[in-house]
Amino acid sequence: MTTTTSAPATRTRAATRSLLTCAVVATPLWAAVALPQAALREGFDITRHPLSALSNGSLGWLQITNFLIVGVLLAVGATGLRRALHGEPGGTWAPRLVRVAGVGMIAAGVFVMDPADGFPAGTPYGQPATLTWHSYAHFAAGSITFLSLIAACFVLGRRLGRAGERRYALLARAGGTALLLGNGWAMGGGRAGTLTLAVGVITAMLSISLIANRFRSAH
């Protein structure tokens, strides 16, 4: 009887681990594809261009694919978070917010921002006089993604703090704060705002990946 009843539970734990793995690998994949391009692609300057601009040009398909795959990984990984946090504080909203962030990244990959400020190489410097509709759609998708990541970090921070897991609570709050400040600085037109935004996004995503790995280990 023990074997029969434990087999479904074992399968459930294995499925949860697999789902959480999607959230764990999302950030390393995002960074591994985006950051080398930021360093090597002609005309790109991370202090002037957002990582989203990498979706333009002959190699733009790399960053578009990055958006799509990482978005799917976050959306699927959110199901693992929902299972891991079932019935616990934050168990409803943290997974929902991570899933929304994943869908936002998919939309950001589908709707590419306009070339601007010298990138890709040959593009006139400065911002375009008018923006296309898909550029507006990209900015909207980005805003949804950033807000969802920030909120997810703070919800997870509260849950982990209540559970006495201070290190992970601090990690979550640090991720949310980094993105909140980085995005705010960029939106306010601060110097090197695209760099602070990139740091904030990666920090917030990394905190979620590390927390997902913590739950994965528990399963």
Please state the φ and ψ torsions of residue 119, each to the nearest 5 degrees.
-135, 135
Domain boundaries, the chain: 22-113+128-218
Confidence of residue 1 (pLDDT cuts 50, 70, 90): very low
Q: Pick from 80-94, 118-132, 168-182 the range whose average pLDDT is largest.
A: 168-182
Count other C-beta atoms under 10 Å from residue 66's C-beta.
22
Q: Is 126 exposed, middle or buried (0-12, 13-18, 19+ CB in 10 A)?
A: exposed
Dist. CA 210–CA 116, nearest whole Å: 34
In DSSP notation, the chain reads: -HHHHHHHHHHHHHHHHHHHHHHHHHHHHHHHHHHHHHHHSTT--TTTS-GGGGGSSTTHHHHHHHHHHHHHHHHHHHHHHHHHTTTSTTTTHHHHHHHHHHHHHHHHHHSPPPPBTTBSTTSPSS--SS--HHHHHHHHHHHHHHHHHHHHHHHHHHHHHHTT-HHHHHHHHHHHHHHHHHHHHHHTT-TTHHHHHHHHHHHHHHHHHHHHHHHHHH-
State yes or no: pLDDT of 75 exceeds 80.
yes
Q: What is the pLDDT of residue 219?
A: 67
Q: What is the pLDDT of residue 43?
A: 94
State yes or no: pLDDT of 8 exceeds 90.
no
Q: What is the pLDDT of residues 17-49, one digit of tens each?
A: 999 999 999 999 999 999 999 999 999 999 999
